[in-house]
Amino acid sequence: MRYLCLVCSEEERLTVMPKSELDDTLRQSGHFLIAAALQSVHTATTVRVRNGKTSLTDGPFAETKEQVGGFYLIESRDLNEALQIAAKIPSARHGCIEVRPVWEIVPPTVGGVAPAA
């Protein structure tokens, strides 16, 4: 099953984080699918559509000290294993990692070909 691990922390802490050895460990374990860091919350734009009208707001949706700074998409056998993996992400020590199961809308592809049902 796939899980998204959202890395949340105070932005100043995210910009000084060294590249983690976790990436290599996850790759070798077979749990790693993809990861990315996000640019500053100052580059964010929030989009809302209400009654057919689009509104754009500068900045992130939530006004909190902690912001989403990046993510890991992992593969694990169950939620317990995903939580154990998330606990090893360095940002968990000073921020938090939100772990959510991925709701597969389209079956994942391997080499551009969907697996047989």
Spatial CB neighbours of 51, under 8 Å, sequence gap ≥ 6 = none
pTM > 0.85? no
All residues at 6 or more sequence positions from 82 whose CB lies less than 8 Å from its CB, including other chains:
1, 3, 5, 74, 76, 99, 101
Pairwise CA distance, residues 112 & 27, whole Å: 21
**What are the chain's domains?**
2-96 (3.30.70.1060)
What is the predicted pLDDT for the residue at 93? 83
Written as tens digits, the pLDDT of the chain (117 aa) is 999 998 888 877 666 555 666 677 778 888 989 888 888 888 888 888 899 998 888 876 666 677 888 899 999 999 999 999 999 888 888 888 999 999 888 766 666 666 655
Spatial distance between the Cα atoms of 62 and 8, rounded to a whole number of angstroms = 12
* DSSP SS3 for 27: helix
The predicted pLDDT at position 51 comes to 93
Query: How far apart are the two ends of the chain, measured CA to CA in Å?
Result: 16
Alpha helices, DSSP H only, in the chain?
Answer: 11-15, 22-29, 79-86
